[in-house]
A and B are shown apart, each in its own frame.
Chain A
Amino acid sequence: MASGSWIGRSVERVEDGRLLTGRGAFIDDHPPVSNLSHAAIVRSPHAHARIRGWDASAALAMEGVVGVITGRDVAASCKPFGVGVTAPVHYYPAATDKVRFVGEPVAVVVARDRYLAEDAAEAVVVDYEVLPAVVDPEKALEPDAPILHEAVGSNLAGHRRLVYGDPDRAFAEAEVIVRERFRFPKYASTPIETYGVIARWDGLDGVLTVWSNFMGPFIMHPLVARVLGLPENRLRFIVPPDIGGSFGIKSSIYPYLALIGLAAMKLGVPVKWIEDRREHLLASSSGTDRVAWREVAARNDGTIVGMRFKWFDNVGGYIRSPEPGCSFRPTGNFVGPYRFQNLEVDASVVMTNKSLTGPNRGYACGHLYFETERMIDLLAERLGLDPVEVRRRNLIDRASFPYRTPTGGLYDSGDYAATLDKALVLAKYDELRREQARARAAGRYYGIGLALAVDPSVSNMGYVATALDPQFRAKPEYLPKSGAVDSATVKIDPLGRVIAILGTTPQGQGHQTIVSQIVADELGVAPRDVTVVDEMDTFTRVWSISSGTYSSRFGSVGTSAVALAARKLKAKLVEYAAHLMGVTPGEVEFRDGGVHRTSGKATPYSIKDLAGRAHWNTESLPEGMEPGLAATAVFGFSVARAVDAEDRVNSSNTYGFIAEVMAVEVDPDTAAIKIVKYVTVHDAGTIINPMIVEGQIYGGALHGLGGALYEELAYDDDGQLLTGTFMDYLVPTASEAPDIEIAHVVSPSPLTTLGSKGLGESSSMTVPAVIANAVSDALRPLGISITELPMTPTRLHDLITRARSSASEPRPPRSGHPRPEPASPTPLQ
């Protein structure tokens, strides 16, 4: 196979052999240490209560029990986790004084096996003084709301008002203003593998080793070390080769790394804890539920001149890092694919008695684009324009790349109009509109929706500081943050076989396959000649605080590091071969898996040949060349800068693009939604393995559909979770999965080594928008506009019933329907 030909092909995955035959190595599979004891976590049954005391005596007397640690031990031995805001929120791995959500850990029981641990967990007595709870973010900011954190004084964890351009003027001069209020639900990813942690304390050496399916970011390593009072070089995180899905959720496992680590340290035995599904639904992590108010200012021709965003993001009982990323992760791409320059963002992060939040596939972008794309449709409706036209009029054009957004984002490449056109052609948009006309004439409810999204990947750590006031960031003692880094090592053994070593933590993305393709191309070998080791161990891998597999990073930053490492090694081989041939490196070239003379006759050196000589006879190396055939590259982005004084930040490093069209039919009698057509076109730059890329899209799309129609961590007013089982938390099955037509546009990124961008979150961020637009379009004859997800049959039925009963009364003509803006509370500072 000629070099350069593996990238772009749907190479079968090397991971599959072991996974298909039951030989995967997941955290629960192979105990890395013997004599494990097993933990069960005692959790709060109350949403809000003060803890008066713990009594573990009955539990300690039970069969097989090794020991119990309670919040009292946690308070005595741990520091609270650092949080991303200045509000004094003290978040510990288990509750120390109060519980603030149902399912919050209050004690850990360790026993000979999990069955016995669960028996004893039931016997731990916690004395609670139950307090009133609040779960709604708007209610939580009312003056008489119960306060979760007395030290904070209110339930507002943080508030920022960000202003870009001159939004007031844009709104004053607007020819049309559209306003709407939205609700986005709290949903999660519920990977089929739950969290798992194994901790061993080596008291003599003072080393705590923690195995877990933690996926990064490894900023959490120093954070956990600090909580446990350990020097960082005495805390070792190891991640097994296989993780059973994450979609962002497993980044929030870190409090348990500390909690189970503490149990191992206190009790002196290695401890294993596998989260069960009930625990996972109650207390792992989810996206935020959000109440949002939107305003769009536009001209009559559909040109958008400004927007106002305002939202309350509900982060649950504590604000856990990396929150408030829920509000700020998309800062650089707040404007999406549109050109407008004037924006005001009023972001409040609110704490209520619900479980905690964190990254969930599409982190914050599902919210953002649901609101924006609904607004564009509402604007189009108000102006009597086709929603395609309104979008087209506002798109950033191809000539503008790299494009600096008013909020500081640097869109690296793209062709938004061409991508949209491709989606329209593939969906046969005009034909869909004709079909809609026929359906409407027949009294059927058929609708077409569009959604566009700039798909950010590789978060720049620096965005987190957007949550802080510029005055705070201006203080001399403040340390600015920025970066997105990954490393890779490529080495060649004495027989010429290649091994690539990564410290990423894949959860099904096929990193081994992709790396083998990249290295094969770089070194002119076949992928099967490249062994890829992809296991994280903080003691042995080169890593940085941004390391890990999240934020769709691998496709840009991990691949770049691998390609660079291979190139470094290749350069060394070239130099070595030239030396052997007695010529200068300029006179040779690397091709077809060996080094050849550019001109003139000389026997080429194959990699195998060079490897043998280099390993066996270091004397043959040129003067000054380091022995060994290994190269490590660390790749980072120079465009990852800290947030500036005007709150501008390039919050991600590469930016893909998504254009989608969906057609649905709604059965008005049952409120069932049928997806008739769904087209999604992606621009993720260079595609390394189309099969894997499309796999991410299928998965992301169904996840978005889950959030739009099925999934919700719903609570009652007392803070009890109503969907605490898989019977009630509805993960879509194969029967709910729609047919998806996928196409690509390729605008290579100028910033990455191979031109690739990330795509792991993909359509999870567009589906809520596209289906809400399609359903709203279907139900337009009834005057229905979707502003709240999930669109459960009951909710939709209520809307239809209300619309039909008001239709039988004389109805005022519908005018783009700006509902009066709610008396929006000005968040306290």
Chain B
Amino acid sequence: MKPPRFEYHAAHSVDEAVALLGRYGGDAKVLAGGQSLMPMLNFRLARPAALVDVNRVAALAYVREDDGVVAFGAMTRQRTIEFSPMVAARLPLLREATRWVGHLPIRSRGTIGGSIAHADPSAEYPAVLTALGGEVIVQGPRGRRTVKAADLFEGYLTTSLGPEELLVEVRLPAMPAGAGYAFEEFARRHGDFAIVGIAAMVVRDGARCAVARLATAGTGPVPVRLRAAEEILERDGLGDAAVAAAGARAAELVDPDADVHASAEYRRHLTGVLTVRALKRAIAGATS
């Protein structure tokens, strides 16, 4: 299990990285944390002509807040996010989700940009990005563009990024003060990718639900925003009946695949169960 041959370039700036990607016309791969790409190389499931290593691009590692949006440089390590006080304050849902991403030694290297660009359907970050309606900034040969979460994930391990594009920033709207949240996940072992994961946020307005956000991991080729379930809460409030109805609706909204770890039916069922659990916890934590 040794990687195949490739050329290797350590970029020092975003422009250099983008130029290198352009030079290989789509045959190069970005090497971020390597926690997904390196296993694929070792299994020889990926055979890029070149790797463009962006670990030395200092300008890609930051967390900052501007105007109600928390912006992450693509190379921000998952571990940095886990321990960032700003993330804890402004995006506690992301922080909670981070603890489900692999293990600490994985998060030491793994990056937020890599996780989103990799687009594993069972990954936590794409679910959070989808739930919170975030966006990413990408830079390619024709400059920068912004892609909304809803337009990003196209299929299993596939995003709308072009092969010569570099994801440079992930932007998530800061959660409103007092928002309740939960990331519920069922995996067969600790640290595994989710069989099903549910990202939930609710903003309470007395007994009413001002905002509900729900998205899934593990329920199909891409994360699913459970808009119709959110609407039940926004319409009927946060009582048990509404929560149960939202859970039932959630299960209908997904169309999961079967694999060796879980049947489609079980995943669908879990979607309902975990949606209810996530909502209950989120509601309990929400203050108006």
Contact = CB atoms under 8 A, between A and B. Distances in A.
Contacts, number: 64
A194 B2 CA distance: 15
A732 B2 contact: no
Interface in B12-42: none
A780 interface: no
B266 interface: yes
B195 interface: yes
A733 B189 contact: yes
Interface stretch (B82-90, B111-119, B126-134, B257-265): B257-265
B145 interface: no
A818 interface: no
A577 to B, nearest CB: 59
B43 interface: yes
A115 B1 contact: no
Contact of A793 (B260, B266, B274): B266
Interface string B176-197: 0000000000101111110100
Contact of A672 (B1, B3, B186, B265): B186
Given A710-B189, A730-B188, A798 B263 contact: yes
Contacts of A19: none
Interface of B: 1-5, 43-44, 186, 188-193, 195, 260-263, 265-266, 269-270, 273-274
Interface stretch (A351-359, A378-386, A593-601, A721-729): A721-729
Interface in A692-725: 710, 714, 722-723, 725
A732 B189 contact: yes
A770 B84 CA distance: 45
A114 interface: yes
Contact of B190 (A276, A672, A733): A733
A127 interface: no
A122 B45 CA distance: 13
Contacts of B266: 671, 793-794, 797-798
A728 B260 contact: yes
B192 A793 contact: no
A56 to B, nearest CB: 19
A714 B260 CA distance: 8
Contacts of B193: 727
A735 B189 contact: yes
A435 to B, nearest CB: 25
Contacts of A122: 44
Contacts of B190: 733-736
Given A118-B2, A794-B266, A722 B260 contact: yes
A15 B186 CA distance: 39
7 contacts: A119-B4, A276-B1, A710-B188, A727-B193, A728-B261, A794-B263, A798-B265
A798 B273 CA distance: 15
Contacts of A278: 1, 43
A669 interface: yes
A115 B2 contact: yes
Nearest to B196: A670
A281 to B, nearest CB: 11
Nearest to B4: A119
Interface size class of A (residues with CB under 8 A): 20 to 34
A114 B189 contact: no
Interface in A413-454: none
A277 interface: yes
Given A714-B260, A801-B269, 19 more contacts: A118-B1, A119-B4, A119-B5, A276-B1, A277-B1, A670-B270, A670-B273, A710-B189, A727-B192, A727-B193, A728-B260, A728-B261, A730-B188, A732-B189, A736-B190, A792-B261, A793-B186, A793-B262, A797-B266
A736 B2 CA distance: 31
B188 A723 contact: no
B195 A793 contact: yes
Contacts of B261: 728, 792, 794
Task: Pick the 9 closest A-B CB pairs, nearest first.
Answer: A735-B190, A276-B1, A722-B260, A115-B2, A794-B266, A669-B273, A797-B266, A794-B263, A794-B262
A340 B180 CA distance: 62
Interface in A787-802: 792-794, 797-798, 801
A96 B112 CA distance: 49
- Chain B facing A: main interface SS: loop
A736 B189 CA distance: 7
Interface in A272-290: 276-278
B249 to A, nearest CB: 17
A798 B261 CA distance: 13
B107 to A, nearest CB: 16
Given A728-B260, A794-B266, A733 B191 contact: yes
B192 to A, nearest CB: 7
Contacts of B188: 710, 730, 792-793
Interface string A365-402: 00000000000000000000000000000000000000
B186 A670 contact: yes
Contacts of A792: 188, 261-262
Contacts of B195: 793
B278 to A, nearest CB: 13
Most buried by B among A669, A672, A732, A735: A669
A725 B191 CA distance: 15
A278 B270 CA distance: 31
Nearest to B272: A669
Contacts of B192: 727, 730
Contacts of A793: 186, 188, 195, 262, 266
Contacts of A730: 188-189, 192
Output the residue of B2, B3, B44, B274 with the most chain A CB within 10 A. B2
A727 B263 CA distance: 17
Contacts of B262: 792-794
A296 to B, nearest CB: 33
Contacts of B5: 119
Find the residue from B1, B5, B44, B192 having the highest chain A CB count within 10 A. B1
A736 B188 CA distance: 9
A122 B186 CA distance: 38
Contacts of B1: 118, 276-278
A730 B187 CA distance: 11
Nearest to B258: A794
A503 B214 CA distance: 62
B186 A114 contact: no
Contacts of A669: 273
Nearest to A667: B273
Contacts of A728: 260-261
Interface string A246-285: 0000000000000000000000000000001110000000
A706 to B, nearest CB: 10
A723 B269 CA distance: 24
Interface in A109-129: 114-115, 118-119, 122
A669 B2 CA distance: 42
B172 to A, nearest CB: 28
Nearest to A797: B266
Contacts of A732: 189
Contacts of B189: 710, 730, 732-733, 735-736
Interface in A780-829: 792-794, 797-798, 801
Contacts of A722: 260
B5, B191, B192, B261, most chain A CB atoms within 10 A: B261
Interface string A665-696: 00001111000000000000000000000000
- Of the listed residues B191, B192, B260, B262, the one surrounded by the most CB atoms of chain A closer than 10 A to its CB is B260
Contacts of B43: 278, 725
Contacts of A115: 2-3
A710 B266 CA distance: 17
A276 B1 CA distance: 6
A735 B186 CA distance: 14
Contacts of B260: 714, 722-723, 728
Which of B5, B44, B265, B266: most chain A Cβ within 10 A?
A: B266
A717 to B, nearest CB: 13
